[in-house]
């Protein structure tokens, strides 16, 4: 092909056909430019196809990661609901008044278990770190992913703080109140616990009133945690729906 064009140029020069040569040269330049543009377009298509494959791979992994998070959140919700139910029953017992009939149930109770959310966010972090997150061709999906990541960080921070507050309020002081009574019961049985914690059967005592207050705080905290867990769970389901719609539009 190059020899063919060179032959034409040489013939036009020998024939001294300057105007035709100039037209030919312009045409040849246009063809070269068109060739370059076509090559660039093909390269762009290939690059975009590779980028789309990367985005698809990330979104498939993110969808699976959300399934893991939903299962984890369901497990945490069931755990905290069970703890809440126990606390509500114990609180009702406190309001009515502890008696010899129910005191051992009260002292054996595990009123709180602290747990981090521990959700999986590795795919989102990888998308952010590689810059692929902002190549998504859906503003709504991009905003939803970023909002989900921020929501998780915020709720995990608050739930961790709530866990620490309840644990400090209920379990750290082993020298008085509910925690001391439980430890005395665990160590030497019911008679010893009653002997060293006579407030248990005295609804008018300061310690009894303080225990009621502690249970109120714990119950309120459990409702707060469950609300935050539900908020993230809803966001997980909504993000899965957006990912599904993203793939449906590609078909």
Per-residue pLDDT, averaged over 32-55, amounts to: 70
Q: What is the pLDDT of residues 103-140, one digit of tens each?
A: 998 888 888 887 889 999 999 888 888 887 777 878 88
pLDDT band for position 248 (50/70/90)? confident
pLDDT of 19 > 60? The answer is: no
* Per-residue pLDDT at 220: 93
Question: Measured in whole angstroms, how far is the alpha carbon of residue 48 from the centre of its chain?
Answer: 29
Average pLDDT over residues 34-60: 74
DSSP state of 205: S
* Pairwise pLDDT comparison (42 vs 177), residue with the higher score: 177
Confidence grade of residue 18 (pLDDT, cut at 50, 70, 90): low
The confidence score (pLDDT) of residue 6 equals 57
Q: Are 69 and 119 in contact (CB under 8 A)?
A: yes
CB atoms within 10 A of CB 128: 15
Contact in structure between 189 and 177 (CB atoms under 8 Å)? no
pLDDT for 12 beyond 70: no
Residue 153 pLDDT greater than 90, yes or no:
yes
Return d(Cα 84, Cα 87) in angstroms, integer. 5
Using alpha carbons only, give the angle 185, 204, 208 rounded to the nearest 5 degrees: 35
Q: What tokens appear for 110 in the block?
A: 């595990």
Which is more confidently placed, 218 or 110?
218
| pLDDT above 80 (res 202) | yes
Q: Give strand ranges (E) for the chain.
A: none
Q: What pTM did the predictor assign?
A: 0.78
């Amino acid at each position: 092909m190059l020899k063919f064009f060179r032959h034409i140029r040489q013939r036009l020069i020998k024939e001294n056909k300057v105007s035709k040569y100039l037209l030919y040269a312009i045409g040849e330049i246009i063809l070269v430019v068109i060739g370059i543009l076509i090559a660039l377009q093909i390269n762009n298509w290939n690059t975009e196809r590779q980028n789309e494959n990367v985005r698809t791979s990330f979104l498939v992994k993110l969808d699976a990661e959300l399934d893991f998070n939903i299962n984890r959140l369901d497990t945490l919700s069931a755990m905290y609901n069970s703890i809440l139910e126990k606390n509500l029953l114990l609180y009702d017992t406190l309001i009515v008044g502890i008696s010899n009939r129910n005191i051992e149930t009260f002292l054996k109770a595990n009123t709180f278990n602290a747990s981090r959310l521990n959700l999986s966010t590795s795919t989102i972090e990888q998308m952010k770190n590689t810059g692929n997150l902002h190549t998504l061709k859906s503003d709504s999906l991009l905003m939803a992913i970023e909002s989900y990541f921020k929501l998780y960080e915020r709720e995990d921070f608050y739930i961790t703080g709530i866990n620490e507050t309840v644990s400090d309020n209920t379990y750290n002081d082993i020298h008085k109140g509910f925690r001391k009574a439980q430890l005395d019961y665990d160590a030497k049985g019911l008679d010893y616990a009653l002997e060293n914690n006579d407030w248990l059967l005295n609804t008018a005592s300061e310690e009894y009133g303080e225990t009621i207050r502690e249970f109120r705080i714990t119950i309120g905290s459990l409702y707060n945690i469950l609300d935050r867990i539900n908020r993230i769970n809803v966001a997980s389901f909504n993000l899965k729906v957006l990912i599904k719609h993203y793939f449906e539009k590609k078909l």
